[in-house]
Chain A
Amino acid sequence: MPQIITEQNLRNLIDLLVKEAKLVVGPKLSGSVVLYEPLTAGSDLTLDALPRRSSKELFFPICEDILSYKRENGAMKVSDMDRSKFPEAVLIGAPPCDAGSPAILDAVMSWDYKDEFYLERRRKSTIVGIACTKGDDACFCRAVGLAPDAEAGSDLFLTPLKDGSYACKAVTEKGQALVAAHQNLFAEGAGAEPKPFVDQAVEKLDLVKIKKWLEEHFEDPLWEKIADICVGCGACAFICPACHCFDINDEGSTDDGVRRKHWDACGFAKFTNHASGHNPRDVQNKRYRNRIMHKFKYYDDKFGKTLCTGCGRCIRACPVGIDIAEILEQINSK
C-alpha cells in the first residue's frame, strides 16, 4: 500500500531526527532568502520556494579541510581528517533538480581514485526528495531528462497532495529504513489527488543531438556571439547542483595549518593558466564553451550522464543574462 504523511507529521519527523542527533538540512528562510540550512525544528522547514543555492554543499562543502599539518620538535607531521565524525544527515524537501545531483556527482567522485570526503557524506546521508510545485520560468529540468516528479537521486520521495499531505515512496533501502524507523508518522492509503506540478514551458531536448552538435562545432561563431558576454564571475558554477571543479590550498603558517579543498569555476580567467603564462582557455567564450561542453559532452563521454539538472539557478543568477536553456534550445533546433 502507498504511504501518506501529513505536513504536521513531516515536521514531527524533522523534530525526531534532530532529537536523534542527525544533521537535518532543508529549505529554510534565512533573512530574505530561502537556503538549504540545518533545521533545528520541523517548524524551520519552508516548502514554498526553491532555495537560492543548491543542496550540493551538504555532500561537497564550499570549503573543507582535507588534512592538517604541524611541525613538532622540528619534524613535520601530517594528519588525516577524522571522517568518522561526519554526521548522519537527512536532506529533506529537495526538489528533483537538487535531489538528483548527488546521483550524478557520485560518478566523478568514485571514479578510480575515490574522494572519501564526498563519498563518506553520501554514505551517511538520506535524501528525502519532493515533487516540485514551485518552479519558475528559468526551470528546465524536463529539458534535460528530469521532471518535477522525478525520483532519481531520492531515497524517499514525497508527492504533495491537494489535501496538504504527502504521498511517500521509498525509492531505496535508505528510504525504507527511514520510514520503518518512524512508522507511526506514516499512514497507509492512497491519499488525495496530487497537487499540479510545475508547468514548464520547455520540452525535452534531444541531448544526443546536442552532444553530436557540440562534438562537431568546437569552433563555431555561436561561442563568440553568445559567450563573449560572460563576465567570468563564476556565479553559475557556484550555484549549480552539478558543477564540481575545485582547488586545493593551504591555510596557516609553514609550521601549523590545514589544507583545504574549495570550489572553483572553469569560468575564472586563471583557472587553466599555466605557470609559463600560457593559457589554453585565454578568452571568456572558450571558458564558457568548456562549461557547456563539460555538462553536455565531456561528462557524458566519461560517465554516461548529463552534468545538469535543469534547476535554472545559473539563469537566475547570471548578471549578464546568459540563459543556458536558451543556448541548448538554439543548438537543439539547428
Chain B
Amino acid sequence: MCKSDNIYLPNLATIEAIVDETPDVRTLRLVFQDEQVRENFSFRAGQFAEYSSFGFGESTFCIASAPTRKGYIECCFRSVGRVTESLRRLEVGDTVGVRGPYGNSFPIEEFYGKSLVFIAGGIALPPLRTVIWNCLDLRDKFKDITIVYGARSEADLVYKHELKEWQERDDVRLVKCVDPGGAGPDFDGKVGFVPTVLEEAAPSAENTIALVCGPPIMIKFTLPVLERLGFTDDNIYTTLENRMKCGVGKCGRCNVGNVYVCKDGPVFTARQVKAMSQEF
C-alpha cells in the first residue's frame, strides 16, 4: 500500500491508547500496522497529518507527539464535526488511516543555545506539545524553557497530567491560567487571559524564541505583548490552523493569500504572518 503512487492512500494505524483530555478533547496514540512503515515513519515537530475514520472521511491535525519519541504518533482533537465525532467513537484496537507527514516544521536546530517561551491557548497546545517534548528530550541544547498555557476553564486545560509533570520539573517554568470565572476552588494556576498572564510573567526576550499557538483572537492580542517584551517578529513562531483537505497543495482550501498553509506552512514566523493578506 505504501508503495503506491496514490497520494491519497493512507497508512493504517491501530489505536494503542486513548486519553480523554477534557470532556470533548481526546488524544489517540497510534501505531502503524505495517512494520516497515512503523520503522521508517519520521516527521519533524510542527508537521501535520490527515487522519481518517473509515466511513466518514479525513480530518487534519498536527502530530502532537514528539519526533524524539519513536514507535508511535499521537493526535489530539476536539469532537466538533462528523469525522472527529466518528474518531471519538473508536476504541483501543480500532484502525484509523494516516496520511503524512505534511507541511513544514519548527526549525528546532536553529533554536539550539537559546531560551524558549511557549504560549498556547486551549486546544492549541498539541502543536506546541510536539516541540515542547522534542526540546525537553534534548534539554541540554536549550537555556530557559517557559510554558504559558491557558484555557477558558480548568476543565478545558488539555494534557493535565503533563502540565503537572512540567510544573514539577525544575528545568521548566510553567505558568498555567484560566479565563476569569473558569477556575475551580482548588486551581493552582493564575486567573486571567493568556496575553495578560504572559505580560505579568515577563519572560526575557534576550536570546529567546517565542512559539505561539492559539485561537486567532489570542494570537492577535499576544503579539503586541511579545513586542513590548522585546521579541522581534523573526523570533516569534506560530502555526496557522487552516481548514485543509488534501494536505498537498491541490484542493485549494487552505490558502491565505498566495500562501498555501499545507505546503508553505503550517509554521510561520510573525514576520511572515504579518506579510500575509489578513485573511486567517
Asked whether A261 is an interface residue with its Cβ less than 8 Å from the other chain, the reply is yes
Q: Which residues of A contact B139 (CB under 8 A)?
A: none
Check if B8 sits within 8 Å of A250, measured CB to CB: no
Check if B280 sits within 8 Å of A248, measured CB to CB: no
Q: Which residues of B contact A272 (CB under 8 A)?
A: 242-243, 253-254
Check if A244 sits within 8 Å of B6, measured CB to CB: no
A275's partner among B7, B81, B255 (CB-CB below 8 A) is B81
Considering residues A113, A245, A253, which has the most beta carbons from chain B within 10 angstroms of its beta carbon?
Answer: A113
Asked whether B248 is an interface residue with its Cβ less than 8 Å from the other chain, the reply is yes
Chain A residues near B (Cβ < 8 Å): 66-67, 69, 75-76, 78, 80-81, 108-109, 111-117, 218, 244-250, 252-255, 257, 259, 261, 264, 266, 271-276, 278, 280-281, 286, 290, 293-294, 297-298, 301-302
Query: What is the size, in residues, of chain B's interface with A at 8 Å between Cβ atoms?
Result: 49
Check if A280 sits within 8 Å of B242, measured CB to CB: yes
Check if A261 sits within 8 Å of B8, measured CB to CB: yes
B252 to chain A, nearest CB (A): 4
Q: Which residues of B contact A67 (CB under 8 A)?
A: 6, 8-10
A70 to chain B, nearest CB (A): 9
B250's partner among A246, A280, A281, A293 (CB-CB below 8 A) is A246
Q: Which residues of A contact B7 (CB under 8 A)?
A: 113-116
Instruction: Encode contact with A along B258-280: 1 for CB under 8 Å, 0 otherwise.
Output: 10100100000000000001111
A26 to chain B, nearest CB (A): 28
Q: Which residues of A contact B249 (CB under 8 A)?
A: 108, 111-113
Instruction: Encode contact with A along B1-25: 1 for CB under 8 Å, 0 otherwise.
Output: 1001111111010000000000000
Q: Which residues of A contact B258 (CB under 8 A)?
A: 293, 297-298, 301-302
Q: Which residues of B contact A248 (CB under 8 A)?
A: 8, 57-58, 245-246, 251
Check if A259 sits within 8 Å of B253, measured CB to CB: no
Cα distance A254–B53 in the bound complex, in angstroms: 8
Cα distance A108–B260 in the bound complex, in angstroms: 12
Asked whether B256 is an interface residue with its Cβ less than 8 Å from the other chain, the reply is yes
Asked whether B230 is an interface residue with its Cβ less than 8 Å from the other chain, the reply is no
Check if A298 sits within 8 Å of B8, measured CB to CB: no
Check if B54 sits within 8 Å of A80, measured CB to CB: no
Check if B55 sits within 8 Å of A250, measured CB to CB: yes
Asked whether B84 is an interface residue with its Cβ less than 8 Å from the other chain, the reply is yes
Q: Which residues of A contact B263 (CB under 8 A)?
A: 112
Check if A274 sits within 8 Å of B251, measured CB to CB: no
In the complex with contacts A248-B57, A297-B258, A80-B248 CB distance below 8 A: no
In the complex with contacts A275-B80, A297-B258, A253-B55 CB distance below 8 A: yes
| Nearest chain A residue, comparing its CB with the CB of B264 | A302
In the complex with contacts A80-B6, A245-B252, A245-B253, A286-B279 CB distance below 8 A: yes
Cα distance A12–B175 in the bound complex, in angstroms: 79
A302 to chain B, nearest CB (A): 7
Instruction: Encode contact with A along B56-91: 1 for CB under 8 Å, 0 otherwise.
Output: 111100000000000000000010110010100000
Interface positions, chain B 90-132, Cβ under 8 Å from A, are 95, 97, 123
A224 to chain B, nearest CB (A): 15
Cα distance A80–B11 in the bound complex, in angstroms: 12
Cα distance A253–B55 in the bound complex, in angstroms: 5
Q: Can you give 25 contacting A-B residue pairs, CB < 8 Å?
A: A66-B9, A69-B54, A78-B97, A80-B6, A81-B6, A115-B250, A116-B7, A246-B251, A249-B57, A259-B52, A259-B57, A264-B251, A264-B253, A266-B253, A271-B243, A274-B241, A275-B59, A275-B80, A276-B123, A280-B280, A294-B252, A294-B255, A297-B258, A298-B258, A302-B258
Check if A274 sits within 8 Å of B243, measured CB to CB: yes
Cα distance A32–B12 in the bound complex, in angstroms: 48
Q: Which residues of B contact A302 (CB under 8 A)?
A: 258, 260
A321 to chain B, nearest CB (A): 25
In the complex with contacts A80-B1, A272-B242, A259-B215 CB distance below 8 A: no
Asked whether B216 is an interface residue with its Cβ less than 8 Å from the other chain, the reply is yes
Check if B8 sits within 8 Å of A66, measured CB to CB: yes
A246 to chain B, nearest CB (A): 5
Interface positions, chain B 219-264, Cβ under 8 Å from A, are 241-243, 245-246, 248-258, 260, 263
Q: Which residues of A contact B278 (CB under 8 A)?
A: 218
A114's partner among B5, B52, B215, B279 (CB-CB below 8 A) is B5
In the complex with contacts A244-B252, A248-B8, A280-B256, A76-B54 CB distance below 8 A: yes
Check if B57 sits within 8 Å of A257, measured CB to CB: no
